[in-house]
Structure 1
Amino acid sequence: MFARALRVRGHTAIKGSERRKLRADVAAAFPSLSAEQLCELVPHKEELSVVKAYSHRGDAITVYTRGRNPVLFERERALYPTVYTLWSYPDLLPAFSTWPPVLQKLAGGADLMLPGVLVPSRGLPQVQQGTLCAITLVGNRYAPVAVGVATMSTAEMLAAGMRGKGFTVLHTYMDHLWGFGDKAYPPTIAPLVADPVEVENTDQEDDPATQVDVSSLSLQEGDVSSAVCISLAFLAPSTVFPPSAEQMDELFQQCFFHALKCKVKKSELPLLTSTFLRNHMFSCCPEGQQLDVKKSSYKKFSKFLQCMQQKDILQVKELNKGVESIVGVDWKHPDIKSFVVPDGFSPVLDTPESKGGDGEPLYHPPDIVPLYGVSVKMAPLFQESGHKKGSILSSSDVRSIVIDYVKTNELVDETNKNFVKINPILCDCLLDKAEQDSISKLKWDDLLNRCLAQLQPFHQVTFFGHEPIVRKGKGCPIDITIAQRSSNKKVTIIKNLELYGLDPQSVATTLQQRVQASATISPLPEAKDRVQVQIQGNQIHHLAKLLLEEYRLPRKYMQGLEKAPKLGRKK
């Protein structure tokens, strides 16, 4: 269900009455919870939020979050726990075990087939068809990694010879619902007493005849042969656990000091933090390891840099919301001077995808999506759908809400379905005073366009490898202008590069080298903490080639390219 990203429609704090109703629903759905556990799961005062979303299949989902983590989700009026909840209450549901390599298939959207289920010596839990169950991994059976519904009873499973589909999987560790939270790893809790079947399997681990390539195992019923089912029973229950937060913190600090000591030059400052991470720190990562800030205790790269700034190692300045730059480094700091590059260090080789044509790291253009905020004037129209003033919606959400409103209130014109009748709410929201007496119906397109025009403009910017950022307004394009200076000299002025994750200093240096003209960077008069690049002459042709062809930035994100000089024959 959550193999693909969720489409979020609303995110609000839960009300007191809703909190009490939720606690009652949880108590009815999971009677094994004690009163104390119920208060922990649905606390009386701690912040609890409700997220309305749609799955990629169009299913309406309600997600309840506590802190950062989703704890429950509701589908078709049925409540289900998330893996975060099951890690706190591992005995909440009857548990069935499978082998670690199967988890990747489940996270990809597959259901769990019975040949992949371990039958322990003590027998399977007794469940009926439709029972909600937890799925664990052999070797760590107290940390559920998936939630599913049994497609048959335990007796039917055994009668079928453990063949066929056993569980419809709803949610797994590593899917997008898990990614909605802090992306924690399952706790590592080994069984107090090893199951005899597991001991047997471990003893036969070194026997080549008992090994099987699980990567080729499909979880569809017809693809599992008898030979694979027999071999699967002898797989070693070994699990590769990810690095701890402390280990990732150490790796981040190692790559950080290595980059400052060996990679970054003073002439490169100011340097965008995203450029520093992508171009310098990643290249200092030892082979076989990977930097992932979400697996560290910092969770965000900006928090890691704040920690380093508190130690007076560097200075970071916020150019714009979500865009920061390193403006100073104390290379005489004891931590930098005492850092020693690890012996036998072998940097990770850059893949073809990580480099551009000229050897520079490949720039990834941001993904910019227009959004719309509900204004005071438009609030009555969106009230029926549960959205209030300030709610942020996509254009498709606005379209769906307006269409639902028109159909619910039976406003489609009976004589011509291309028109919508105007009721008092639509009249107040969409029509000017001069139009209110003369217009009684609107075409669908006109209705939707007027609705979008009356909403407050927002936009969402997603930089490669970072969380989305929502900003007010329609978004400023990269502004390219030609200005006249003394002695009839022209200069090219470039603004707003930082908004698109581009380093103004890098762009200025590249242009300066290519056109052999002086380039300067100066503060932007109309915006604080932003700069503009100024280069002699009309250099729009060279700038367009750099931005469009090398940085692969879409033309729609730029304005002023039409001011390029006309190319003609020189006399």
Structure 2
Amino acid sequence: MFRKPPSNIKSYSPLRSSDRRRFKDEILKKFPLLESSINNLIESSTDATDSKSESPFNIIVPENTQLAKFNSNLGVHGVIYTTKEKHPLWFKKDKDKNEILVPSVYMLWKFPDMLPKIPTFDMVISKLTGGANLMIPGIAFPSEGLPEVNEGELVSVVVRGSNIPMAVGTMNISTKLLEPGSTRKGIAVNVIHIFGDCLWSMGDQSSPPELSDAKTFQENIETESSESKVADINEEIDEDVEVENLENEFETKLTVSEVDKLLQDSFYQALIEKLTPATPLPMSTSQFYSAYLLPCRPIGTENEVDVKKSSYKKVAKFLSAMEKKGVIKMKGDSTLIHVNWNHESLAGFRPHKTIKKATSSTALNEGHPIIEIKQVFKPKGPIVDFFKAQGENVESDTVYEPEQIKSIVLNYLKSHNLSDKQNPKFVIPDEPIREILANKSGVRVPDKWIRNDLVKEIQSKMEDHHYVILPGHDPELRKGLPKNIQISESTRTGNKVVTTIRGLESYGMNPNDLTEPLQKLCASSVSVNPTLQSSPKKPLMEIMVQGPQIKLVKKYLMDTKGFPEKYIETTNVKKKGKR
């Protein structure tokens, strides 16, 4: 918003005492965390009452505070509040005709806990200074998880490991929908104001406190800004490419030994929490790795902990090392046949919070089970040879998650230097990739591809599979795309509305077990009948609830049964009445 200096600034006028008091009350009301910070500052400062000018309340709205109207280069109207020396303190901006009160970074440095914090990586901040927003892959998920913030609410952006806000903006998406390792793309935070922009330049241009490389950062602002200026001002950069580049650039550089340690911890946690002594063996190593070990990685490490980044390089070699320790027994390189549950490594292991726990924490905290559905893809045709050439151990039952496919393809593109020299936004496929992309119809394969489009195209050439993990059961690999649970409303004879639920059996739910809970929830009669497609050998049932009950039934399946919303299909097929 302040990539360029505010324009059309009207003459500054001082706030009257009564306006100062009202403005202070407005600030404390809109930023409830600020008052506790002020109280802590008062308690810790022995001089807080000695000087009126040093009172924390005078810091947020000093005497001689001035205000002026302005326009931003984006055409946003607002009001800026400054000291007598024109040092920016606060500003208000219009958003859909509603004013938003925003603190300057100078104010945030005095009260860093005023807003919820969204951490990012240190190299991202200079890119944000050029006007870019914080993308979802640029979030550095902390081990304790993100603060709970709704879409549109103000947040500060900090460098991971630091408490000092570097930018302020509004959430573009609720943090409840953001999970470590998610493939979700797009903007996470709409950045409004950041250290180094033109609003900061209106002040004393001081650096953030306790930031050791602030000077270096400040010196590089102009250079970094120019690199992203064209892409961000014209908004012509492809979002998939931007996200993809962020995913690669923001990876934390763990040492190989650190990756080895985290991989072993994930292995032990997978045995204790997911495999358990009750799980029947043998099991393929690829299934154990993708469905058991990967979900048990520590939260926040999903982009860093991978067998390829370890000293083992391959799953078979890693499991062979665990076999030498005496923890497991293998048959060849592809089958897990036994676990030594009395091994000292398992007895002394301290569990950690995992990716799976983080993504299902809401349902678990409410005491409900959760059903997991995970899409995976099986290599076929030339993709098998392509993956094997990259060091993959592809067996008949080997499947890959989208993140794994993306990593393999992008690593190949990078190692073979396939970027278009004239426009790095594109890549030029070589012969092995063109063989994958070739189709029977003989349609010409494009010479240039956007990276993400290329990954998606290769993924589309693989067979669709999915894991279904029911509470208390082992992961089950199924062929094809996941089936939806269907909830539909229809109008029957006499204009009676009926809600029908189908597809429950696919996910271990007996329709007869749901009749009583739904009857109480909907306060309506409930019946169970065979579907039209049902056969005597494999009967499929449907639940029929009287009345328009889509919202209640959907909420019940999600909150009580832990079924993912993504795979609930709702339709409304009411008949049109005569007018």
Short-chain TM bin? 0.3 to 0.5
| TM-score, structure 2 normalization | 0.38
| TM-score, structure 1 normalization | 0.39
